């Protein structure tokens, strides 16, 4: 079926195309009788304005593109909730793309975004190289969530990783743990800063000699594999600090299937405080990263950048909290 055009509406109502355009924009510069004819005709024909054409005319699309790195991770959905709330409040429509945890997929999504001429782009924990992000930021305002990108045209919203790691290590140390292993996020966004924060927190707690980082990524399988490698060498530490909640759940599953009790034999701490960490049968001790707040702040930073070309801002949320649940206890 062919799309109804503004010309079709004008012909049906017996008015000019320009008058129909004014009606669709609720212009106060037309009388009440003639616009009504055009409005009724538009409703009868199912006409809806062409957003892309309107954007080309006004040079503003009213659209913000959002790239989520991994739709399997609840962190991204919960961050998106905050974005939706802020976008609704400010009258923006969101266009969503998924990076599928791969750089090439992210790059393809970014190129697709630019074809729609969005007013701005928000990247949530992207894996793209900083140079690629900076290049796109020269064309359109941009904000990155969950990762520091040092480029003049890119704003960032981040959690204070050093503070978060300090909370985790201090909690475990106070319980009596010393051999605390970190399963990292590999090449994932923010993994390097989280890994570095773990090392610094261990050193500050006087546990530098016990530092051990197991390679992984931000997935449940990474936690499963890391825990299996510990079991295989029979030198399981008394505690595991996982790069995120998914990694923590994978580690718990692998440890328990191999006969270890969590937390009696091994304590496990996650990162993000996603919805499943709160489930009774999971009850995961984890760092609460304010996902929805990060989404709202990202949209606010983006609209501020769209209003003025200013220096990049780095907004660091300084008060992450540790939520203690059932996966941590004193070592035997």
pLDDT tens string 85-144: 999 999 999 999 987 777 888 888 888 899 889 999 999 999 898 888 999 988 899 999
Topology (CATH) of 161-290: Rossmann fold (3.40.50)
pTM over 0.95: no
Q: Per residue in 144-177, pLDDT tens?
A: 999 888 887 889 999 999 999 999 999 999 999 9
Instruction: Evaluate if residue 19 carries a pLDDT over 80.
Output: no
What is the location of CATH 3.40.50.2300 in the chain?
A: 61-159+291-317, 161-290
Cα–Cα dist 241/105, whole Å: 29
Helix (H, G, I), strand (E, B) or coil at 10: helix
Superfamily of domain 61-159+291-317: Response regulator (3.40.50.2300)
Of 16, 60, 64, 54, the closest CA to residue 38 belongs to: 16
Instruction: Evaluate if residue 311 carries a pLDDT over 50.
Output: yes
Work out the angle at residue 327's Cα, subtended by the Cα atoms of residues 323 and 329, and round it to the nearest 5 degrees.
Answer: 95
Residue owning tokens 């070309």: 309
Instruction: Evaluate if residue 15 carries a pLDDT over 80.
Output: no
Q: Are strands 212-214 and 180-183 parallel, antiparallel or unpaired?
A: parallel
């Amino acid at each position: 079926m062919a799309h109804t055009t503004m010309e079709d509406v004008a012909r049906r109502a017996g008015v000019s195309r320009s008058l129909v355009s004014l009606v669709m924009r609720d212009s106060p510069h037309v009388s009440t009788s003639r616009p009504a004819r055009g409005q009724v005709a538009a409703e009868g024909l199912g006409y809806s304005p062409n957003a892309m054409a309107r954007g080309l005319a006004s040079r503003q699309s009213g659209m913000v593109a959002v790239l989520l790195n991994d739709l399997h991770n609840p962190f991204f959905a919960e961050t998106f909730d905050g974005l939706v709330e802020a976008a609704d409040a400010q009258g923006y429509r969101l266009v969503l793309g998924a990076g599928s945890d791969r750089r090439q997929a992210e790059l393809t999504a970014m190129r697709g975004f630019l074809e729609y001429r969005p007013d701005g782009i928000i990247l949530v924990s992207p894996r793209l190289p900083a140079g690629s992000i900076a290049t796109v930021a020269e064309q359109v305002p941009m904000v990155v969530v969950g990762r520091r990108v040092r480029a003049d045209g890119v704003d960032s919203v981040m959690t204070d990783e050093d503070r978060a790691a300090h909370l985790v290590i201090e909690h475990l140390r106070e319980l009596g743990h010393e051999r605390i292993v970190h399963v990292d996020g590999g090449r994932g966004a923010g993994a390097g800063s989280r890994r570095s924060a773990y090392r610094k927190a261990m050193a500050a707690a006087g546990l530098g000699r016990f530092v051990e980082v197991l390679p992984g990524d931000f997935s449940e399988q990474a936690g499963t594999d890391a825990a299996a490698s510990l079991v295989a060498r029979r030198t399981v530490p008394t505690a595991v600090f996982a790069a995120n909640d998914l990694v923590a759940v994978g580690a718990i599953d692998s440890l328990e299937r191999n006969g270890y009790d969590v937390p009696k034999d091994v304590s496990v701490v996650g990162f993000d405080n996603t919805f499943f960490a709160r489930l009774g049968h999971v009850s995961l001790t984890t760092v609460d990263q304010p996902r929805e707040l990060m989404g709202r702040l990202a949209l606010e930073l983006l609209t501020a950048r769209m209003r003025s070309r200013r220096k990049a801002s780095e907004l660091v949320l300084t008060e992450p909290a540790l939520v203690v649940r059932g996966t941590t206890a004193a070592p035997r």
